[in-house]
């Protein structure tokens, strides 16, 4: 891929990182594209099936669809859905398949529900044994998507997903069918409820014993109150913003509330658009933008920039790497860190501010964010998108037309609320608030966008815990009071126990910090987009369960977390390295129950966090020559 033309006006660091990714990925990307292009043929895919295969594929279709499927002329679109009615963000998808089918038919195609994928809620499983399945579910979703698309019946795909691991998993699965035009279909955020700042205050008062469980539940219910995505800027809403900036959503589709006429019109427009793209693919026309061609090095760098500029979830330091690898692209944490040094923080959305995603949308939303980043030379404009060539299309906003369809108009050129969203020339911070820490303890990620400058460097004695429950018990017992500390929460990595979220640590740590104690956390686990004001060195690699130095730490070791210099170290390193392990990873017996025993193979084969924490190997190459399709 040549980026010379695209680099005109591009920030030199963005250009350099892109070139570095291109060079590093040359063999794997070539192998991936060779495989993908070999799978793309003219005409409907089902036309190559034997009669018995095809008959199975349309046996349950109604008379009209059956005739169309037998005719092997119209494109057939796969609908892959993550619907369930327990997960608020995905409950609206209940009615999407029949609506999408009708819209596809109106556009000249056919559609079938190809399959479903699991969709678990980290909010429900938080602090529970089920959370240990959460990260693994991403790869299960990728495999489920591949199974859904594996029948050679389909000419394009509509992927229905919103939250956490679901969207990255859908993308990874779809990239195995990179020859198919693919559009992701969101459902939108719930309307704003109890302000996030007030919810966080109640959580912290509850942690101090100053609020009752009834008060806490009332606050949580007032915040998470209806169908739609939770409105704070965690992984789910980071997913939505990234899919739009990557050109996998229609422009402006991410943050339109469920149940509105515009939401319905955008869903219909997504169906019509993927039908058009599939027809282009079938007939050999230009502009089909199959997902494997669309998700290239420039698009992935754009995703990194958007994540940093918006202050998005640290989970994407793994998900972006994993999605990139699925497309044959080798993205690293260092790429993200180098970009973070020059990408300004332009958004204040909770937990990096008091606003929620509805306020962000009202302030100008993604259209304004894309515009100011393009104008500053921080995004590649010369990319493919499902809406057509060029990222400038995503500076437009959808409006409901007189006929009930979608019309796109130019978005705002000025922020409508500078407390929430700003121009690149007037940022909240000159950098993206994400650092890679390195040192004797390994490599880690730290998100500083919500951490006050005076808290970004902490040197304090370690208190070491092999389970988050032990830390919370120590807090409840008062043994953490009145001392500076670095809480080391280890054996929480992908190979140890699936790398569960550690959100429950945040209120307790916040209490200690508010009391004037200097505190930080170091963990090989995750704290995600809900991590906040306490410095947290997360995703430490190598993890303790695989021999990382965290396994040798003990109480009292003097640990330094320095977000300013990018350092994660311990005093008297040689003495620490000379020790045997001071703890132990969970045993197989401890994983009995809650389905965890079914994932022993995942724990044994999962890769490290800095390589995406995936069970999937990289795209194979054969002696430097693209592998056969």
DSSP string for residues in 121-176: -HHHHTTSGGGGGHHHHHHHHHHHHHHHHTTS--SEEEEE--STTHHHHHHHHHHT
**What confidence score (pLDDT) does residue 47 get?**
87
Distance CA 567, CA 561 (A): 6
58-72, 402-416, 526-540: range with lowest mean pLDDT: 526-540
- Give the pLDDT mean for 555-575: 96
Please write the tens of the pLDDT for every residue from 38-76: 998 778 888 888 899 988 998 899 898 889 889 888 999
**What confidence score (pLDDT) does residue 570 get?**
97
282 pLDDT above the threshold of 60: yes
Please write the tens of the pLDDT for every residue from 139-188: 999 999 999 999 999 999 999 999 999 999 999 999 999 999 999 999 99
Mean pLDDT over all residues of the chain? Answer: 92
Instruction: Work out the number of other CB atoms within 10 angstroms of the CB of residue 172.
Output: 26
Where do runs of H (alpha helix) occur along 224-260? 235-245
**What confidence score (pLDDT) does residue 198 get?**
83
Q: What is the DSSP annotation of 365-382?
A: HHHHHHHHHHHTT-S--S
Predicted confidence band of residue 5 (pLDDT cuts 50, 70, 90): very low
**What confidence score (pLDDT) does residue 204 get?**
80
CA distances from 516 to 111, 511, 519, 528 (A): 59, 9, 9, 25
Phi, psi of 274 (to 5 degrees): -70, -30
- Give the pLDDT mean for 315-342: 97
Distance CA 464, CA 363 (A): 43
Q: Are strands 485-489 and 519-523 parallel, antiparallel or unpaired?
A: parallel
Which residues, at least 6 apart from 571, have a Cβ–Cβ distance to it below 8 Å? 557, 558, 559, 560
Tell me which residue of 538, 618, 17, 535 sits closest to 304, measured CA to CA: 17
CB 309 within 8 A of CB 373: yes
Backbone Cα Rg of the chain: 24
CB 523 within 8 A of CB 491: no
47-51, 460-464, 556-560: range with lowest mean pLDDT: 47-51
pTM: 0.93
**What confidence score (pLDDT) does residue 186 get?**
97
- Give the pLDDT mean for 332-350: 95
208 pLDDT above the threshold of 80: no
Predicted confidence band of residue 280 (pLDDT cuts 50, 70, 90): very high
107-121, 207-221, 458-472, 481-495: range with lowest mean pLDDT: 207-221
- Give the pLDDT mean for 293-312: 97
Please write the tens of the pLDDT for every residue from 187-206: 999 998 777 778 778 878 87
Distance CA 384, CA 178 (A): 14
7 pLDDT above the threshold of 70: no
**What confidence score (pLDDT) does residue 2 get?**
40
- Give the pLDDT mean for 13-22: 98
Residue 188 sits at the vertex; the CA angle it makes with 185 and 189, to the nearest 5 degrees, is 155
Predicted confidence band of residue 8 (pLDDT cuts 50, 70, 90): low
- Give the pLDDT mean for 215-226: 77
Distance CA 5, CA 480 (A): 57
Please write the tens of the pLDDT for every residue from 571-623: 999 999 999 999 988 887 778 788 899 999 999 999 999 999 999 998 888 64
- Give the pLDDT mean for 94-106: 97
**What confidence score (pLDDT) does residue 531 get?**
57
1 pLDDT above the threshold of 60: no
């Amino acid at each position: 891929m040549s980026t010379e033309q695209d680099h005109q006006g591009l920030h030199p660091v963005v250009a350099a990182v892109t070139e570095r990714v291109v060079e590093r990925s040359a063999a794997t990307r070539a192998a991936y594209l060779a495989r993908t292009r070999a799978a793309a043929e003219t005409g409907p895919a089902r036309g190559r099936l034997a009669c018995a295969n095809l008959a199975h594929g349309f046996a349950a279709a109604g008379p009209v669809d059956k005739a169309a499927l037998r005719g092997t002329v119209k494109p057939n679109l796969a609908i892959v859905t993550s619907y369930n009615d327990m997960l608020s963000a995905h409950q609206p998808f209940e009615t999407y398949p029949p609506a999408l089918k009708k819209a596809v038919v109106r556009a000249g195609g056919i559609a079938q529900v190809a399959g479903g994928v699991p969709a678990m809620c980290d909010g429900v499983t938080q602090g529970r044994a089920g959370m240990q399945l959460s990260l693994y579910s991403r790869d299960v979703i990728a495999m489920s998507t591949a199974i859904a698309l594996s029948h050679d019946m389909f000419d394009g795909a509509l992927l229905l997903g919103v939250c956490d691991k679901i969207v990255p998993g859908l993308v990874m699965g779809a990239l195995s069918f990179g020859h198919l035009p693919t559009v992701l279909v969101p459902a939108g955020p719930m309307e704003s409820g109890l302000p996030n700042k007030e919810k966080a205050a109640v959580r912290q008062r509850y942690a101090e014993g100053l609020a009752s469980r009834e008060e806490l539940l009332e606050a949580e219910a007032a915040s998470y109150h209806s169908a739609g995505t939770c409105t704070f800027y965690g992984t789910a809403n980071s997913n939505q913003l990234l899919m739009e900036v990557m050109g996998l959503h229609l422009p402006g589709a991410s943050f339109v509330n469920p149940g509105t006429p515009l939401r319905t019109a955008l869903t219909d427009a997504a169906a019509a658009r993927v039908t058009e793209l599939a027809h282009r693919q079938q007939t050999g026309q230009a502009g089909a933008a199959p997902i494997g061609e669309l998700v290239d090095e420039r698009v992935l760098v754009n995703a990194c920039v958007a994540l940093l500029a918006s202050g998005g979830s640290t989970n994407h330091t793994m998900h972006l790497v994993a999605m990139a690898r699925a497309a044959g692209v080798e993205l690293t944490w260092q790429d993200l860190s180098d970009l973070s040094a020059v990408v300004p923080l332009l958004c204040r959305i909770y937990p990096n501010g008091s606003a929620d995603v509805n306020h962000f949308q009202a302030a100008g939303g993604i259209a304004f964010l894309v515009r100011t980043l393009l104008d500053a030379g921080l995004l590649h404009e010369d990319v493919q998108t499902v809406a057509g060539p060029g990222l400038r299309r995503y500076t437009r906003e959808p409006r409901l037309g007189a006929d009930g369809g979608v019309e796109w108009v130019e978005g705002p050129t000025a922020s409508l609320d500078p407390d929430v969203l700003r121009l690149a020339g007037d940022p909240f911070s000159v950098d993206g608030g994400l650092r890679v820490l390195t040192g004797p303890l390994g490599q880690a990620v730290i998100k500083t966008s919500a951490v006050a400058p005076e808290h970004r460097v902490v040197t304090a004695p370690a208190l070491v815990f092999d389970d988050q429950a032990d830390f919370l018990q120590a807090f409840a017992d008062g043994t953490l009071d009145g001392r500076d500390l670095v809480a080391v929460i280890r054996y929480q990595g992908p190979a140890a126990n699936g790398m569960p979220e550690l959100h429950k640590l945040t209120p307790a740590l916040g209490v200690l910090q508010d009391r004037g104690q200097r505190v930080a956390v170091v963990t090989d686990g995750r704290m995600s987009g809900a991590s906040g004001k306490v410095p947290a060195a997360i995703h430490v690699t190598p993890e303790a369960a695989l021999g990382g130095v965290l396994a040798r730490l003990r109480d009292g070791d003097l640990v330094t977390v320095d977000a300013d210099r990018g350092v994660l170290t311990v005093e008297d390193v040689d003495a620490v390295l000379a020790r045997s392990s001071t703890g132990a990873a969970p045993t197989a017996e401890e994983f009995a129950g809650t389905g965890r025993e079914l994932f022993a193979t995942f724990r044994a084969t999962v890769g490290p966090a800095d390589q995406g924490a995936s069970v999937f190997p990289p795209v194979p190459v054969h002696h430097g020559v693209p592998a056969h399709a």
